[in-house]
Amino acid sequence: MSKKAEQFYKSAREQYADYGVDTESALKTLGEIALSIHAWQGDDVVGFEKASGAMSGGCQVTGNYPGRARTADELRADLDKALSLIPGTHRVNLQGHQVDKSIKGIDRNEYGPEHFSRWLAWARNKGVKLDIAPAFYSHPKLDHGLSLSHPDPKIRKFWIGHGQAIRRIAAGFGRELGSAAVCNFWMPDGSKDIPVDRFTPRMRMQESLDACFAERFPEAHLLDAVEGKLFGIGVESYTVGSHEFFMGYAVSRKKLLCVDSGHFHPTEHVGDKLSAVLCNLKEILLHVSRGVRWDSDHVLVLNDELLAIAQETVRYGYLNRIHIGLDYFDASINRIAAWVIGSRNMQKALLSALLEPKAELLKRDAAWDGAGRLALMEEAKTLPLGAVWNYFCEKNSVPEGLAFMDDIRSYESRVLSKRR
């Protein structure tokens, strides 16, 4: 620990104490929050299958910055580097096509633990927990942009098989690693232009999901989540799995609702939705990304939206009810830098929320003191968050400030630049 960091932290601790905030307690809580780091930032949501003629299904990544991971081994090496620069111990979230290896003649509906065995061994060795999501896209059987809602029973059966297979793999991760794996279902099904029948595809999707979830697993091993969306590329006019559809499904089937900060209209604020959905749901999954005019999945920045999400998560003691995952992908910049910058910003937002003078603010709330509440909220914004953050980084043996970029540039020169 550098003397400078300790001095700055001591001063910051005293300033926060003047507002009734215990920085040591905030740092302890922050250290216990495990983000689910999205593996698909490293491979541009391509996966490692050998299938040909695949279609994207709305998952489009902008840019072709050198160094994309081409194999699961390369992706694990990149994750090693990224995780070494993010303070704390975190989870890694996989997609169903990020297999260790493809086995000839076996498609996604038949995947088993052997397809992800090296991921499990890596996670065990690193002390990392794993989550995983089915990949209902980038496959020839995504016919007319439809998977679980397709009118052909054979196509639906294939995708149901994929969902069932990934759930079994997720439950295995949870059992072997001692922490329930979150298995999140998102489908790109919809229509580019205005359909006549919006109801029947939704009933088919509901029946397909029921089939996917029919097999029971202990909650200690597996947590199922379902994720809605406003629209996607190629499905601008109609999305089968809308927010309303999945809100009803999550409540009626007792699943986690995945609230993705990029999946709503730009004028909607996701932070406000958290307390609303948690009135009727035991737990939720949070996917954090940054939309710029649309669901564009930009790297997280420390903006008002991110701060509001963190504040709503912390203020009501929701940290044990909200599973925080990241979900952005940018191939226009160094992918490891994208992981690290976005993850550290999520942690900074959480730290800011943990350092909020909550008790004093609630007193003003109760006293109907709107002016006093606003004054204190604004004053808290200029308290020395940066000094506490740098101290947290040094305590966790990761670089403070911009020093992490030196490590990333070195890795880029030694490793990423040699990939073609």
The residues annotated with a catalytic role in the active site are 186, 227, 229, 260, 263, 287, 295, 297, 327
Phi-psi region of 257 (alpha: psi -120 to 50; beta: other; left: phi over 0): beta
C-alpha 304/C-alpha 377 separation (Å) is: 13
Residue pair 102/48 in contact by the 8 Å Cβ criterion: yes
Distance CA 160, CA 32 (A): 36
With b meaning 16 or more CB within 10 Å and e meaning fewer, what string describes 179-206? bbbbbbbbbbbbbeeeeeeeeebbebbb
* Contact between residue 340 and residue 85 where contact means Cβ atoms under 8 Å apart: yes
| Burial class for 56, CB neighbours closer than 10 Å (0-12, 13-18, 19+) | middle
Of the CA atoms within 13 Å of residue 364, those in its CB half-sphere come to 13
33 contacts 324 by C-beta, under 8 angstroms:
yes
- Using CA atoms, how far apart are residues 263 and 293, in angstroms rounded to an integer? 11
Beta partners for residue 143, in sequence order: 146
What angle is formed at CA 131 by the lines to CA 281 and CA 140, rounded to 5 degrees?
100
